Amino acid sequence: MLMRRVIPCLDCDAGRVVKGVRFAALRDAGDPVACAQRYAAQGADELVLLDISATNDGRGTMRELVARVREVLAIPLTVGGGVRSRADAAALLECGADKVAVNTAAVVRPELLGELAREFGAQCVVLALDAARRRDGDGYEVVVRSGKERTGRDAIAWAATAAALGAGEVLLTSVDRDGTRSGYELELIAAVARAVAVPIVASGGAAHAGHLADALAAGADAVLAASILHDDHTSVAALKHALAARGFAMRLDENHP
């Protein structure tokens, strides 16, 4: 049985973890190294670190921060933000990332995904797909530049194209649900799950274990959580045990009751 994953997410800006609602009204949520240590100790399966201002600032991901986070982790680490080239990806992998996530640069130049997959292997390449429901309510469109720009591109078709080009995983975030704690965008998750054969990590909207279970049932292979962990409403261990009680295969550790 395929093991499901619970993955804390550290959205970072200026060296701090931040969290907002629908990518806006950001507030400080702590030190990334301390957060990484806490979530690893709670039994996180993986960790995602996203430098959310790198693309808009026109710079690469903060490598020194990645290296410091890597030092306290013994679990897989996905890093994104400002990845525009093979050199950018190589630098992050050298700093300790296990996977690199690409969003805006892949939309601008889709062949980047194939270049990264050929150089580093598809297992290292994550499509970070931010999607919002179209304003007319008919389907979902791709959003780039940290939620600031709607592209008009169909999100489901883009996921399928990206997987065909070489993305080995899709980090799927609902812009509409991000930070709202209203539950994941299940229709979006199900549609992408039908369109791709690679793992999907669902993100945006979690408030409790029931929401995570809904996302997994809709077709996600893993679930991302941020604010409910940053604000100590629950722990990674509690979420994993609750999912296991609902029948999902989870990696459980007796040290994380």
Residues with catalytic function: 11, 130
Q: CB of 168 within 8 A of CB of 126?
A: yes
Q: Pairing relation of β-strands 169-174 and 200-203?
A: parallel
Q: Tokens for 197? A: 């054969």
Residues in the chain: 257
Question: CA-CA-CA-CA torsion for 155, 156, 158, 160, nearest 10 degrees?
Answer: 160
Nearest alpha-carbon partner for 132 in 99, 155, 101: 155
- Tell me the angle at which helices 186-195 and 209-218 cross, rounded to the nearest 10 degrees: 30
Task: Quote the CA–CA distance of 192 and 8 in Å, as a whole number.
Answer: 21
Cα 128 to Cα 11, 51, 113, 174, 226: the distances in Å are 13, 12, 11, 11, 16
